[in-house]
Copies of this chain bind each other. A is one copy, B any other.
Amino acid sequence: MPDLEKVLPELAAEMAARSDRGEVASYIPQLRKVDPLKFGIAVVTNDGLILTAGDADEAFSIQSVSKVFTLTQALGEVGDRLWKRVGREPSGDPFNSIVQLEHEHGIPRNPFINAGAIVISDVMLAGHQPRETIGEIVRFIRFLSDDESIAIDPAVAASERATGFRNFALANYMKSFGNLVHAPDLVLGVYFHHCAIAMSCRQLALAGRFLANNGYHPATGHSVISPQRNRRILSLMLTCGHYDGSGDFAFRVGIPGKSGVGGGILGIVPGVASLAVWSPGLNENGNSKLGSIALEMLAREMNWSIFSR
Protein backbone atom coordinates (compact mmCIF):
# COMPACT_ATOMS: atom_id res chain seq x y z
CA MET A 1 0.00 0.00 0.00
CA PRO A 2 1.43 3.38 -1.00
CA ASP A 3 2.04 5.85 1.78
CA LEU A 4 -1.27 7.50 2.66
CA GLU A 5 0.47 10.09 4.80
CA LYS A 6 2.22 11.32 1.69
CA VAL A 7 -0.63 10.90 -0.75
CA LEU A 8 -3.28 12.89 1.12
CA PRO A 9 -1.48 16.25 1.43
CA GLU A 10 -0.41 16.05 -2.22
CA LEU A 11 -3.99 15.41 -3.21
CA ALA A 12 -5.23 18.34 -1.14
CA ALA A 13 -2.61 20.58 -2.70
CA GLU A 14 -3.53 19.49 -6.20
CA MET A 15 -7.22 20.13 -5.52
CA ALA A 16 -6.46 23.56 -4.08
CA ALA A 17 -4.83 24.49 -7.36
CA ARG A 18 -7.76 23.59 -9.60
CA SER A 19 -9.95 26.33 -10.93
CA ASP A 20 -12.84 24.44 -12.46
CA ARG A 21 -14.70 23.59 -9.27
CA GLY A 22 -18.33 23.23 -10.41
CA GLU A 23 -21.27 25.18 -9.05
CA VAL A 24 -22.28 25.46 -5.41
CA ALA A 25 -25.86 24.24 -4.90
CA SER A 26 -28.18 27.21 -5.09
CA TYR A 27 -31.62 25.79 -4.59
CA ILE A 28 -31.26 25.75 -0.81
CA PRO A 29 -30.50 29.42 -0.05
CA GLN A 30 -28.47 28.62 3.04
CA LEU A 31 -26.04 26.41 1.07
CA ARG A 32 -25.31 29.15 -1.41
CA LYS A 33 -23.25 30.99 1.19
CA VAL A 34 -20.52 28.35 1.43
CA ASP A 35 -17.02 29.25 0.24
CA PRO A 36 -16.45 27.33 -3.03
CA LEU A 37 -12.71 27.15 -2.40
CA LYS A 38 -13.05 24.81 0.57
CA PHE A 39 -11.61 21.32 0.24
CA GLY A 40 -11.19 18.72 2.95
CA ILE A 41 -10.48 15.01 3.10
CA ALA A 42 -10.26 12.44 5.88
CA VAL A 43 -9.36 8.76 5.87
CA VAL A 44 -9.96 6.41 8.78
CA THR A 45 -8.43 2.99 8.22
CA ASN A 46 -9.80 -0.19 9.73
CA ASP A 47 -6.70 -0.45 11.89
CA GLY A 48 -7.44 2.88 13.49
CA LEU A 49 -5.28 5.34 11.62
CA ILE A 50 -6.89 8.78 11.09
CA LEU A 51 -5.42 10.98 8.39
CA THR A 52 -6.74 14.33 7.17
CA ALA A 53 -5.81 17.12 4.80
CA GLY A 54 -7.25 20.52 3.89
CA ASP A 55 -10.40 21.75 5.60
CA ALA A 56 -11.08 18.38 7.16
CA ASP A 57 -12.24 19.76 10.48
CA GLU A 58 -14.72 22.27 9.17
CA ALA A 59 -18.37 21.26 9.41
CA PHE A 60 -20.52 21.28 6.29
CA SER A 61 -24.10 20.27 5.57
CA ILE A 62 -24.04 16.53 4.92
CA GLN A 63 -27.40 16.55 3.16
CA SER A 64 -28.04 13.26 1.35
CA VAL A 65 -25.03 11.56 2.90
CA SER A 66 -27.28 11.28 5.95
CA LYS A 67 -29.43 8.83 4.00
CA VAL A 68 -26.87 6.09 4.56
CA PHE A 69 -27.38 6.41 8.30
CA THR A 70 -31.17 6.62 8.23
CA LEU A 71 -31.31 3.59 5.92
CA THR A 72 -29.16 1.68 8.42
CA GLN A 73 -31.46 2.68 11.26
CA ALA A 74 -34.68 1.92 9.37
CA LEU A 75 -33.43 -1.54 8.39
CA GLY A 76 -32.62 -2.12 12.02
CA GLU A 77 -36.16 -1.15 12.97
CA VAL A 78 -38.32 -2.86 10.35
CA GLY A 79 -35.90 -5.20 8.56
CA ASP A 80 -36.57 -6.38 5.03
CA ARG A 81 -40.20 -5.30 5.18
CA LEU A 82 -38.74 -1.95 4.16
CA TRP A 83 -38.29 -3.23 0.61
CA LYS A 84 -42.03 -3.41 0.08
CA ARG A 85 -42.09 0.37 0.15
CA VAL A 86 -38.78 1.26 -1.50
CA GLY A 87 -37.02 -0.34 -4.50
CA ARG A 88 -33.39 -1.24 -4.91
CA GLU A 89 -32.71 -0.18 -8.48
CA PRO A 90 -30.77 2.77 -9.88
CA SER A 91 -33.20 5.39 -11.04
CA GLY A 92 -32.01 6.60 -14.42
CA ASP A 93 -33.47 9.98 -13.47
CA PRO A 94 -32.37 13.10 -11.60
CA PHE A 95 -32.41 12.95 -7.81
CA ASN A 96 -35.68 14.75 -7.45
CA SER A 97 -37.58 13.24 -10.37
CA ILE A 98 -41.27 12.60 -9.88
CA VAL A 99 -41.86 10.86 -13.21
CA GLN A 100 -40.61 7.53 -11.92
CA LEU A 101 -43.10 7.68 -9.06
CA GLU A 102 -46.00 8.04 -11.46
CA HIS A 103 -44.89 5.04 -13.49
CA GLU A 104 -44.25 2.89 -10.43
CA HIS A 105 -47.31 3.90 -8.39
CA GLY A 106 -45.60 5.76 -5.60
CA ILE A 107 -42.78 3.28 -4.88
CA PRO A 108 -39.42 5.11 -5.08
CA ARG A 109 -36.71 3.28 -6.98
CA ASN A 110 -34.19 3.24 -4.15
CA PRO A 111 -33.58 4.66 -0.67
CA PHE A 112 -31.02 7.24 -1.80
CA ILE A 113 -33.11 9.38 -4.12
CA ASN A 114 -35.14 12.00 -2.29
CA ALA A 115 -38.43 10.12 -2.55
CA GLY A 116 -36.90 6.97 -1.11
CA ALA A 117 -35.32 8.79 1.82
CA ILE A 118 -38.64 10.46 2.55
CA VAL A 119 -40.28 7.04 2.84
CA ILE A 120 -37.53 6.07 5.26
CA SER A 121 -38.28 9.14 7.38
CA ASP A 122 -41.89 7.98 7.42
CA VAL A 123 -40.83 4.49 8.56
CA MET A 124 -38.74 5.99 11.37
CA LEU A 125 -41.63 8.14 12.56
CA ALA A 126 -43.72 5.13 13.55
CA GLY A 127 -44.77 5.57 17.17
CA HIS A 128 -42.75 8.76 17.57
CA GLN A 129 -43.02 12.49 17.47
CA PRO A 130 -40.82 14.08 14.75
CA ARG A 131 -38.68 15.62 17.47
CA GLU A 132 -37.99 12.17 18.94
CA THR A 133 -37.10 10.63 15.58
CA ILE A 134 -34.76 13.49 14.77
CA GLY A 135 -33.11 13.07 18.16
CA GLU A 136 -32.63 9.37 17.52
CA ILE A 137 -30.89 10.03 14.21
CA VAL A 138 -28.53 12.59 15.71
CA ARG A 139 -27.71 10.29 18.62
CA PHE A 140 -26.96 7.42 16.24
CA ILE A 141 -24.53 9.53 14.21
CA ARG A 142 -22.88 10.90 17.36
CA PHE A 143 -22.44 7.33 18.54
CA LEU A 144 -20.95 6.22 15.21
CA SER A 145 -18.52 9.16 15.14
CA ASP A 146 -17.94 9.02 18.87
CA ASP A 147 -18.42 12.79 18.89
CA GLU A 148 -21.14 14.45 20.98
CA SER A 149 -20.64 17.82 19.29
CA ILE A 150 -22.37 16.83 16.04
CA ALA A 151 -25.61 18.79 15.57
CA ILE A 152 -28.23 19.98 13.15
CA ASP A 153 -27.81 23.42 11.59
CA PRO A 154 -31.24 24.94 12.30
CA ALA A 155 -30.80 27.67 9.66
CA VAL A 156 -30.28 25.03 6.95
CA ALA A 157 -33.27 23.01 8.15
CA ALA A 158 -35.44 26.13 8.10
CA SER A 159 -34.14 27.10 4.67
CA GLU A 160 -35.00 23.67 3.26
CA ARG A 161 -38.48 23.77 4.71
CA ALA A 162 -39.10 27.23 3.31
CA THR A 163 -38.00 26.35 -0.21
CA GLY A 164 -38.36 22.57 -0.49
CA PHE A 165 -41.45 22.59 -2.69
CA ARG A 166 -40.14 19.74 -4.79
CA ASN A 167 -39.84 17.58 -1.70
CA PHE A 168 -43.34 18.58 -0.60
CA ALA A 169 -44.50 17.49 -4.06
CA LEU A 170 -42.75 14.13 -3.74
CA ALA A 171 -44.13 13.50 -0.25
CA ASN A 172 -47.70 14.43 -1.16
CA TYR A 173 -47.47 12.40 -4.32
CA MET A 174 -46.41 9.27 -2.44
CA LYS A 175 -49.07 9.95 0.17
CA SER A 176 -51.65 9.96 -2.64
CA PHE A 177 -50.52 6.42 -3.49
CA GLY A 178 -50.70 5.39 0.15
CA ASN A 179 -46.94 5.02 0.50
CA LEU A 180 -46.65 7.45 3.44
CA VAL A 181 -48.30 6.61 6.74
CA HIS A 182 -47.85 10.01 8.40
CA ALA A 183 -48.74 13.50 7.27
CA PRO A 184 -46.30 14.79 4.62
CA ASP A 185 -45.55 17.81 6.76
CA LEU A 186 -44.38 15.70 9.71
CA VAL A 187 -42.38 13.33 7.53
CA LEU A 188 -40.61 16.22 5.85
CA GLY A 189 -39.87 17.68 9.27
CA VAL A 190 -37.74 14.60 9.94
CA TYR A 191 -36.26 14.59 6.43
CA PHE A 192 -35.24 18.26 6.36
CA HIS A 193 -33.62 17.97 9.78
CA HIS A 194 -31.47 14.93 9.09
CA CYS A 195 -30.31 16.50 5.81
CA ALA A 196 -29.29 19.59 7.79
CA ILE A 197 -26.86 17.75 10.04
CA ALA A 198 -23.46 19.46 9.95
CA MET A 199 -20.32 17.35 10.10
CA SER A 200 -16.65 17.65 9.23
CA CYS A 201 -14.82 15.20 6.98
CA ARG A 202 -13.18 13.74 10.06
CA GLN A 203 -16.51 13.16 11.77
CA LEU A 204 -18.07 11.70 8.63
CA ALA A 205 -15.20 9.29 7.99
CA LEU A 206 -15.44 8.17 11.61
CA ALA A 207 -19.18 7.65 11.28
CA GLY A 208 -18.59 5.41 8.25
CA ARG A 209 -16.19 3.03 9.99
CA PHE A 210 -18.75 0.28 10.55
CA LEU A 211 -19.45 0.14 6.83
CA ALA A 212 -15.77 -0.54 6.08
CA ASN A 213 -15.69 -3.11 8.83
CA ASN A 214 -18.45 -5.59 7.96
CA GLY A 215 -20.92 -3.79 10.19
CA TYR A 216 -18.82 -3.72 13.36
CA HIS A 217 -18.11 -0.50 15.18
CA PRO A 218 -14.36 -0.66 15.74
CA ALA A 219 -14.34 1.67 18.74
CA THR A 220 -16.76 -0.41 20.77
CA GLY A 221 -16.65 -3.77 18.99
CA HIS A 222 -20.44 -3.68 18.85
CA SER A 223 -22.23 -4.91 15.76
CA VAL A 224 -24.12 -1.99 14.25
CA ILE A 225 -25.60 -4.15 11.52
CA SER A 226 -25.13 -7.72 10.27
CA PRO A 227 -22.36 -8.40 7.72
CA GLN A 228 -24.95 -9.34 5.08
CA ARG A 229 -26.92 -6.15 5.58
CA ASN A 230 -23.67 -4.19 5.56
CA ARG A 231 -22.75 -5.64 2.14
CA ARG A 232 -26.18 -4.78 0.85
CA ILE A 233 -25.97 -1.17 1.97
CA LEU A 234 -22.60 -0.90 0.23
CA SER A 235 -24.13 -2.40 -2.89
CA LEU A 236 -26.87 0.25 -2.84
CA MET A 237 -24.24 2.95 -2.36
CA LEU A 238 -22.39 1.69 -5.41
CA THR A 239 -25.39 1.37 -7.71
CA CYS A 240 -27.46 4.33 -6.44
CA GLY A 241 -25.23 6.55 -4.29
CA HIS A 242 -24.62 9.31 -6.81
CA TYR A 243 -28.05 9.86 -8.35
CA ASP A 244 -27.89 9.66 -12.13
CA GLY A 245 -24.09 9.74 -11.97
CA SER A 246 -23.86 6.48 -10.01
CA GLY A 247 -22.71 4.42 -12.98
CA ASP A 248 -20.03 6.97 -13.79
CA PHE A 249 -18.76 7.11 -10.19
CA ALA A 250 -18.56 3.30 -10.05
CA PHE A 251 -16.78 3.32 -13.42
CA ARG A 252 -14.24 5.96 -12.45
CA VAL A 253 -13.74 5.46 -8.71
CA GLY A 254 -14.80 1.87 -8.18
CA ILE A 255 -15.85 2.10 -4.51
CA PRO A 256 -19.24 2.48 -2.84
CA GLY A 257 -20.00 6.10 -2.02
CA LYS A 258 -22.80 8.46 -1.12
CA SER A 259 -22.80 12.12 -2.04
CA GLY A 260 -24.77 15.13 -0.82
CA VAL A 261 -25.51 18.48 -2.43
CA GLY A 262 -23.53 20.14 0.33
CA GLY A 263 -20.47 18.83 -1.51
CA GLY A 264 -19.64 15.93 0.79
CA ILE A 265 -19.03 12.32 -0.21
CA LEU A 266 -18.65 9.33 2.07
CA GLY A 267 -16.63 6.53 0.43
CA ILE A 268 -16.09 3.03 1.75
CA VAL A 269 -13.25 0.63 0.91
CA PRO A 270 -14.56 -2.64 2.32
CA GLY A 271 -12.16 -4.15 4.82
CA VAL A 272 -9.80 -1.21 4.51
CA ALA A 273 -11.00 2.30 5.23
CA SER A 274 -13.76 4.87 5.48
CA LEU A 275 -13.20 8.10 3.54
CA ALA A 276 -14.86 11.48 3.56
CA VAL A 277 -14.22 14.31 1.16
CA TRP A 278 -15.75 17.79 0.86
CA SER A 279 -15.71 20.39 -1.88
CA PRO A 280 -18.86 22.50 -2.29
CA GLY A 281 -18.91 22.85 -6.10
CA LEU A 282 -21.11 20.26 -7.85
CA ASN A 283 -20.94 18.60 -11.25
CA GLU A 284 -23.89 18.28 -13.64
CA ASN A 285 -25.33 15.33 -11.71
CA GLY A 286 -25.31 17.16 -8.38
CA ASN A 287 -22.26 15.40 -6.95
CA SER A 288 -19.16 17.18 -5.61
CA LYS A 289 -16.96 17.82 -8.62
CA LEU A 290 -13.56 17.95 -6.94
CA GLY A 291 -14.66 15.43 -4.35
CA SER A 292 -15.33 12.86 -7.08
CA ILE A 293 -12.03 13.62 -8.78
CA ALA A 294 -10.12 13.39 -5.51
CA LEU A 295 -11.65 10.02 -4.69
CA GLU A 296 -10.89 8.79 -8.21
CA MET A 297 -7.23 9.78 -7.83
CA LEU A 298 -6.96 8.40 -4.33
CA ALA A 299 -8.58 5.07 -5.22
CA ARG A 300 -6.30 4.66 -8.21
CA GLU A 301 -3.21 5.61 -6.26
CA MET A 302 -4.04 3.23 -3.41
CA ASN A 303 -5.45 0.49 -5.67
CA TRP A 304 -8.67 0.55 -3.69
CA SER A 305 -11.18 -0.40 -6.39
CA ILE A 306 -13.51 -3.18 -5.37
CA PHE A 307 -13.20 -4.46 -8.95
CA SER A 308 -9.65 -5.73 -8.51
CA ARG A 309 -7.73 -7.29 -5.76
Chain A positions near chain B (C-beta within 8 angstroms) = 87-93, 97-103, 109-110, 165-166, 168-173, 175-176, 184, 214, 227-228, 230-232, 234-236, 238-240, 244-248, 250-251, 254, 256, 270-272, 300, 305-309
Give the residues in chain B near A103, CB-CB below 8 Å. 99
Judge whether B246 and A89 touch: CB under 8 Å: yes
Count of this chain's copies in the oligomeric assembly = 4
Main secondary structure on A side of the interface with B: helix
Judge whether B92 and A89 touch: CB under 8 Å: yes
Among B90, B102, B171, B246, the residue within 8 A (CB) of A98 is B102
Q: A170-B169, A175-B165 are in contact. Are A251 and B306 (CB under 8 A)?
A: no
Assembled-state Cα–Cα distance A271/B306 (Å)? 10
Taking the closest CB of chain B, its distance from the CB of A240, in whole angstroms, is 7
Give the residues in chain B near A248, CB-CB below 8 Å. 88-89
What are 13 residue pairs bridging A and B, where the CB atoms are less than 8 Å apart in the complex? A90-B246, A98-B98, A99-B99, A99-B103, A169-B171, A214-B308, A227-B308, A235-B254, A235-B307, A270-B309, A272-B309, A306-B306, A306-B307
Assembled-state Cα–Cα distance A171/B88 (Å)? 29
Q: A173-B165, A184-B168, A239-B246 are in contact. Are A90 and B88 (CB under 8 A)?
A: no
Judge whether A89 and B165 touch: CB under 8 Å: no
Going nearest first, the 6 A-B pairs with the smallest beta carbon separation are: A92-B92, A90-B90, A165-B176, A169-B173, A89-B247, A168-B172
Judge whether B172 and A247 touch: CB under 8 Å: no
Judge whether A254 and B231 touch: CB under 8 Å: yes
Give the residues in chain B near A300, CB-CB below 8 Å. 228
Assembled-state Cα–Cα distance A227/B172 (Å)? 41
